[in-house]
Structure formats: C-alpha cells, structure tokens
Chains A and B, each alone.
Chain A
C-alpha cells in the first residue's frame, strides 16, 4: 500500500484555517497616497515577475483610464514611496506605462449593460466627467456627456500638450466609452441645469473644470501679446497657431507654466524665459519636467515679479522687481518680498501668464460657489445645494490633478447610484490598517541600493521641433529591474500564532534586516513597518509560527509545486526534473523558460517569488512524487535581497542530507545561478545538470534490472 492521507505538507494551519486565509497585509503608503487607492504594490510585484497581463488587470480594476495616467499622472504615490528613504522612489508611473503597453491595454474591451431606466447628465468631459460616465455606465445607467468644446477630454485635450499625452491614447478611451454606450454631445455648452432636468435627466454631475486663467492684476495686462496660460495651451491644442514672436516669457512656477514654456519652444520661439517669484526649491512644478524644460533650452529667472507691462514699438516692456524670500508663513512656505529699488525692465514679444485657473460657472447653474469660484459640495456625497446635482474635479477643488479628478468621478458615480436607488450612502470602510512610520536607519542600512531606472526619453535636440511624445516605454529588463526595487511595504512577515512561538529567537538571528526584536515583556515581535518581506524567517522559524501577511504569498511555493507535480504526473516525463525558479529578474523574463521548452518537457519549472522561500521539504516532496533531480535557480547577484543564495544553499544542504539517508545521490539537487564560478551561464549549468540526472537515472534503472 502506498502512503496516503495528509498530502498537504502545508497543513500546519489547518487547525485555524480562517485566520490563516485572511489578508493581513497593511496598506502601503503608495496606495494610501493614491486618490484612486490603486493596489500599486501588487501590480508592481506582478510586473517584477514579468506577469504583465495580470499587472494590467490589477491596474484596470482600480483605474478607468490607466493609459492616460500612465502618461501624465502626477504620481502622489511616488512622493509617498518608502523606497525614497533608501535611495529613490519606485518609478510607479513609468511601470504602469510599461504594463499598459505590454499588457495590451489598447485591446481591452469594456462592456456595459443597461439595467436602470434613469438617465444621468455629465456636464464637462474632463477626466472627472469621463470617469463618472464610465462607472455609471458600468452600474447600468444611461449617461450623456455634454462638452462645450468640439472634442472630449477637458484639460487632457485642451491643456496637457501632445508631447506628454499623445492624443491617440485619449481617443482610444473616448471610443471605448462610446462603445460602452455612453452618449456623447460635443459643442454642447450647458447653460442651465433646469433644462437638463426638463430633458428627463434624473441627476447631473458637474465637472466643468477650472479654465479661467487668473490674472496678475497689474497695469498693462490687457495689452495685445499678453495671454493666459490656459488659453494659450487651449489654442495650440485646438490647432491654432498663435504667433508668439521670438522672445517669450511665461509667468508662474507650476506645471502649466512649464507646459506653456515648452510649447512656446516647440512653436519656434527663440528665447523662452520663465519668471517665477520664488526660487527653484519652492517651485510646485514636477522636478523631471523642470529638468526636461532646462534641457530644451527654457531659461528660468527666479525671484522675479512683473510689476507693469507697457506695449511699445511692437514689444512688451515688462517692468520687474527682484524678490527675496522672507520668513516662512503659517504653512511653512517662505513668502517672497520685493527688494527695495531693484526694478528693472525686460522686453518680450509675448507674455504668457500662468499663475493659476479658476472655474467659470454659468449663472444658470444656480449652484453655490465658494472660495476661488469653486463649487461647494459635501465631501462625502459630492452633492451641491441643488437636489440631484453633484459636482467634482477641478470645478470643486480648483486646479488639481487628473487622478484626483478620476477619483472624484468614481466617487460621484457611486453617490449618484445611491441617490437614484434611494440608498443611504455606504462607506466602503477598509478593514486593513495603513502602514505608517519610516524605515529605521538600521533597516535602511541593510537594504541593497538599486538606482532608479528612468524610462528612456528622446534626446532634447529631437524633441523641440514638433509635438512628438518624448517619453518612451521601458523594455522588459528595465521594467522588471525597476519593479524589483519595490520594498513590498506592509506585505511582510507576521507571527500569526503568538502562542506557537517558542521564543527561540531564530527569526532575530536570521533576518537580514534585523527586523524582529524582543519586546519589554519578552515576546518576539516583527514590526510590520520594517519587515522587507524576504521570507527568510518564515522558512526558518522552527515552530512555523511566522507567515507572510498575504494569503497568496503563503501558499505560493507549495501551491505551484503541487500544480507542477500534477501536470507532470499526467505526462509522465522520464526522467522528471523539477526546478524552483526565481520569478524575478533573469529567470522570470526569459532565458531559462526558453531552455526548458527546448529540453523537451522533462524539466518542469515551479515559479517562486524568491528562492529564499523554498524549503527543504518542498524539495523532498518533488522526489517523493517521482522527480529524479531538483534544482533551484536563484537570481544570484541580481537579487534585490540580501543573502538569498546563502539561504538557498542551507535548504539544499538540508535536503541533500535527507536524500543521502534514503539512498539517493545528493548531486541530484543543484543550485543554479546566472553565472557560476566557472563563468558558465545558467543555461549551461542546467544542461550539465540535466545530463547528470540522465546518467543517474539510467544507472538506477540498470540497478533495478540487475536486482530483479
């Protein structure tokens, strides 16, 4: 009789299965900072494993228009990323770009069925309006989008320059919406909401954005040749070619100012200056974009404020004053103050004023507006003072970001649904905690420094002739390596059953990052905010009291192994070789899997997230199920973790000892690395190993025949 019964070697939590199946991971800071609350850690991890389609799925489940965000998102996630405490934040936006391009986001079809009779009007087709339309349609409502301009997209269309957001990307999303059944009315400026209700709409979502350029309020601002940033960009984006002359100045320090300056360069202006009243450090514009503007020849004049404009001899004479930074104000921002008697004059052909925008509301809306002409709403329900009228996006917040607008649109769709279904708005309370707290210096010191990889971009010379998109996509290798930099914040190890802990202190001794500690009561603790999720303690804890916080990670190795063994049993390959293969880096993206195909199916790969998670009993399980040889392919020096190969070799030695005790040659287990001490590649090592196993297998068959 063969041995049977408990086959599941991971049965140690069977007694308390419910807790063992729960997701105990904490919400990482990147996710907490994202207005859409995207599961960044997850899709970055999938990208690191080369599972780009799944990464895209995760992205799409949290973002209606990921391709747009992949190009222009202001990425608050990166500003919160804890990797910055080690070196630089993970390039999350660029990784999303990789996932949407390589995962085939363009091809994704969205479907929607009409399940409600109520019709909803969305006024304005910026990201907020489009997102709301998307989600309402998904919820089964009939939606009409009213847009004053001839094309959809709001600032995506008339604000953001084409070199940052190719219009095909936007068009794809718009077409997708149309195919979902969203009704689109362009050239349709809404002037009265009563009219919409009269037309039968049961609810209205106002997302008219903030398009009215703010003025400096100085003499001469009305002169010809002075234009506000939003208008200037709108004209260019709608295909007009404003004549700028040779010398252009842009006033302001935000992203709109940078976009205007870079647009002016592309329109052929010979000299473009940005006049900003504070210094570089205070500039709200994105660093990368400032950098790129400099590369393109934009000049920055800091601590300068225009005081008066005069038009003379066809030029703008701009009287400026120098500023210096005074004491920090209540918000900690140092206020610029004019330096007495520092007036000077500059001469330009065109002056673009990009110091901010405000919403512009037709009087017929009858909604209450507050500070900066923004619509006043309830922050939870997004309702205005008018029944059935909701509002969101820049029109409510003042100029903000695409992702904030998308989040507002999504929120509005949910609230409008509640309203139309007469439901009390339910709070989608998150049960998991958010990870707070910085990495300790001791932890940081142990984390391997891996430089951030920026996506490739066109060289400055090649950029400025026209509006060609300048940023390109990562290739596989760069994307995988960048994604591996993620520290997987909050998804690390925990002592799941404190009562099982024998206080042996193994975890303290094996952790490469010195994370576990003994608290004042003598209990062993693994602080979630420090753990790097390497899994070493999980695999070494002799009591098996430690697990990874995410259920998938807990089952990963055993699950994949059983899957592979089942498939192998069906095809009965002889001799069967099982390889535990690092899913990151080299092996995840190619060479070994090609080799495996060539080897004719007798090599079966078990993908593992990190080979430090492979335990000796996993190896033995493969031998139990008929494997003639087992190898572990580790990513070696490429590893983002510390000491992985040491731990792999520990497990291998342990399994080898057992193997020789049961009369099998210990050489049947091998560790492969990308390049071994002889300089042979993983493929060559695998070749040699497969040959060795073939020989041992033949010998054992011969022995059996001799015996019988």
Chain B
C-alpha cells in the first residue's frame, strides 16, 4: 500500500492562505490504512487548523471535511460534486495520485496536497511503517528470497552484502538490518544458498520513460475480424 505522512501545519497554512473556504478531503483506502489521511486524520487536521485560526486571532478560513472511499478513481469523486461548489479549494489528504485525480475531475478547482506521499510499504506494527517496494518495474524478488535489495539495502546493490555489513546491521544505519544478510539467511532456510554465489548483472539503469502506462485490455476492433 501507499504510505504517506501529513505535511506540517505551517506548510498547509501557507498553501491554503489564498482560499477562504477549504474542503479537507480524506481518502478511505491507502491513506486511511497508513494513518495519514483517513476520516480520523481529516478530523484531527480540521481541529488543528481551526485551533490555529482561533489562536492566531486573524483566522478567516472556513473548513469543511469529507472522506471519500478512494480518491484515485473518478467515480468515487462524484460524492464531491455538490461539496466543492461551496468551497474555493480542496486540501487532499490522499496520496499524490488522489490529488491529481481530483484535479482532473474538477478542472477549475485548486487542489492542494495535505500529505507527502512517501513510499510503498506496510505496517511493521501498530503505528510503524516500513518501505518495501520501489516500483522499479523489473522485479527480482525471485532471486533474492523475497526480500527486495533495491528498497531495503541502503545502497540498493544487487550483489551484496557490501563490506559495510556488521553483525547483520548496515553501516549506513546500525539500527537497520542489512538486507543482504536477511537475504542470505532466508536463502539458507530455502536451501538455495547457491543463489548467493551467482553474479547478477547490473540492471538497466536507463531512465524509465515516464509516465508509464500499462494497457491490459485487448485491442479489439468492433466489427473487425468477425466476419
């Protein structure tokens, strides 16, 4: 899932400054799960902004809040149609995709990000999130025992560990497990230690042409080939 983190109130205050009426929009999917922009965080931000306005003595904004099921699909954004009519801007607590989806759906509406979209990852435990995948587009997990060295090795090397590994920890941060030690240990359990001895050629580091698009539907020409 996508993991995000709320922006500082100071930054949010600056971005919303020009707009009087602001609709804070939460996302009921990833942003909820990662605790950055679900209904609860929307309420907390709302309360924080209102407290800020009240304490500054010069507040003039009006805030509304609403959380949609998922921001990254236009159909879910229909629920916003009436609501955005009453506001000057939307502050989205969805990931960057959500922000853009709202912008696309409402062409004349200013949409501001309330969170920093951080990484793709998972919960380690309650309230702790770890990155797991870099969306590199060339997955090598089959060779690395299901542990991604691109994201979990500080250096992202393919033929680890490097000389900086020490007692299973990484020289870049001695609190952090060395991804290659983890890979070794797991390969051992899988009786595939010989995979360690292989050399993995460098990946294709050409810049990925962006934006990427995947087309999964078949190109079927209506009426074509049918007779």
Q: What is A's interface to B at a CB cutoff of 8 Å? A: 1-6, 9, 11-12, 499-500, 502-506, 509-510, 540-544, 615-617, 620-621, 623-626, 654, 658-659, 661-664
Of B36-44, B130-138, B199-207, which binds chain A?
A: B36-44
Name the contact of B35 in the complex, choosing from A11, A542, A623, A661 (C-beta under 8 A): A542
Whether the pair A616, B44 counts as a contact (CB closer than 8 A) is yes
Name the contact of B8 in the complex, choosing from A6, A616, A661 (C-beta under 8 A): A661
Given A506-B126, A509-B125, A543-B39, verify A654-B64 contact (CB < 8 Å): no
A623 to B8, CA, bound (A): 19
Given A9-B46, A504-B33, A616-B44, verify A662-B39 contact (CB < 8 Å): no
Residues of A contacting B64 with CB < 8 Å?
A: 5-6
Residues of A contacting B75 with CB < 8 Å?
A: none
B residues 202-227 near A (Cβ < 8 Å) are: none
Q: Is B97 interfacial (CB 8 A cutoff)?
A: no
Known: A621-B50, A661-B9, A662-B55. 18 other contacts (CB 8 A): A1-B60, A2-B54, A3-B54, A3-B60, A6-B63, A9-B47, A12-B43, A502-B33, A502-B38, A504-B32, A504-B123, A510-B126, A542-B40, A542-B41, A543-B38, A544-B40, A621-B51, A623-B55
A663 to B47, CA, bound (A): 15
Whether the pair B28, A5 counts as a contact (CB closer than 8 A) is no
5 example contacts (A-B, Cβ-Cβ < 8 A) are as follows A1-B20, A542-B33, A659-B51, A661-B8, A662-B55
Q: Distance (Å) between the CB of A397 and the closest chain B CB?
A: 54
Whether the pair B40, A9 counts as a contact (CB closer than 8 A) is no
Complex: chain B residue closest to A621, CB-CB: B47
Given A541-B40, A658-B9, verify A502-B28 contact (CB < 8 Å): yes
Q: Is B10 interfacial (CB 8 A cutoff)?
A: yes
Whether the pair A617, B43 counts as a contact (CB closer than 8 A) is yes
B residues 7-56 near A (Cβ < 8 Å) are: 8-10, 20, 28-29, 32-33, 35, 38-41, 43-44, 46-48, 50-56
Q: Is B174 interfacial (CB 8 A cutoff)?
A: no
A144 to B62, CA, bound (A): 67
Given A543-B32, A617-B44, verify A3-B9 contact (CB < 8 Å): no
Whether the pair B10, A661 counts as a contact (CB closer than 8 A) is yes
Whether the pair A12, B39 counts as a contact (CB closer than 8 A) is yes
Residues of A contacting B35 with CB < 8 Å?
A: 504, 506, 542
A662 to B53, CA, bound (A): 9
A542 to B123, CA, bound (A): 14
Given A544-B39, A661-B10, verify A620-B44 contact (CB < 8 Å): yes
Whether the pair A5, B38 counts as a contact (CB closer than 8 A) is no
Name the contact of A3 in the complex, choosing from B10, B53, B65, B69 (C-beta under 8 A): B53
Residues of A contacting B55 with CB < 8 Å?
A: 623-624, 662-664
Whether the pair A542, B32 counts as a contact (CB closer than 8 A) is yes
Going nearest first, the 8 A-B pairs with the smallest beta carbon separation are A542-B38, A617-B47, A620-B47, A509-B126, A661-B9, A504-B33, A662-B52, A624-B51
Whether the pair B40, A3 counts as a contact (CB closer than 8 A) is no
From B32, B39, B59, B60, name the one whose CB has the most chain A CB atoms within 10 angstroms: B32
Whether the pair A620, B48 counts as a contact (CB closer than 8 A) is yes
A663 to B59, CA, bound (A): 14
A155 to B64, CA, bound (A): 66
Q: What is B's interface to A at a CB cutoff of 8 Å? A: 8-10, 20, 28-29, 32-33, 35, 38-41, 43-44, 46-48, 50-56, 59-65, 67, 69, 123, 125-126
A658 to B64, CA, bound (A): 19
Residues of A contacting B125 with CB < 8 Å?
A: 509
Q: Distance (Å) between the CB of A187 and the closest chain B CB?
A: 70
Q: Distance (Å) between the CB of B95 and the closest chain A CB?
A: 14
Whether the pair B50, A3 counts as a contact (CB closer than 8 A) is yes
A540 to B41, CA, bound (A): 10
Whether the pair A662, B38 counts as a contact (CB closer than 8 A) is no
Q: Distance (Å) between the CB of A496 and the closest chain B CB?
A: 12
Q: Distance (Å) between the CB of B41 and the closest chain A CB?
A: 7
Complex: chain A residue closest to B29, CB-CB: A502
Residues of B contacting A6 with CB < 8 Å?
A: 63-65
Name the contact of A502 in the complex, choosing from B32, B41, B50, B51 (C-beta under 8 A): B32
From A4, A499, A504, A626, name the one whose CB has the most chain B CB atoms within 10 angstroms: A504
A623 to B28, CA, bound (A): 28
Name the contact of A662 in the complex, choosing from B20, B40, B51, B61 (C-beta under 8 A): B51
Residues of A contacting B62 with CB < 8 Å?
A: 1, 3-5
Complex: chain A residue closest to B65, CB-CB: A6
Residues of B contacting A2 with CB < 8 Å?
A: 53-54, 59-60
Complex: chain B residue closest to A617, CB-CB: B47
Complex: chain A residue closest to B8, CB-CB: A661
Whether the pair B48, A662 counts as a contact (CB closer than 8 A) is yes
A522 to B60, CA, bound (A): 45
A505 to B125, CA, bound (A): 10
Residues of A contacting B123 with CB < 8 Å?
A: 504-505, 509
Residues of B contacting A3 with CB < 8 Å?
A: 50, 53-54, 59-63
Whether the pair A662, B63 counts as a contact (CB closer than 8 A) is no
Residues of A contacting B44 with CB < 8 Å?
A: 615-617, 620, 654, 658
Complex: chain B residue closest to A509, CB-CB: B126
Residues of B contacting A542 with CB < 8 Å?
A: 32-33, 35, 38-41
A522 to B205, CA, bound (A): 39
Name the contact of B51 in the complex, choosing from A1, A544, A654, A658 (C-beta under 8 A): A658
Whether the pair B39, A500 counts as a contact (CB closer than 8 A) is yes
Q: Distance (Å) between the CB of A539 and the closest chain B CB?
A: 9
Whether the pair B50, A624 counts as a contact (CB closer than 8 A) is yes
Q: Distance (Å) between the CB of B86 and the closest chain A CB?
A: 9
Given A4-B62, A542-B35, A625-B54, verify A9-B48 contact (CB < 8 Å): no
Q: Distance (Å) between the CB of A37 and the closest chain B CB?
A: 37
A11 to B67, CA, bound (A): 11
Q: Distance (Å) between the CB of A474 and the closest chain B CB?
A: 39
Whether the pair A500, B59 counts as a contact (CB closer than 8 A) is no
Residues of B contacting A505 with CB < 8 Å?
A: 123
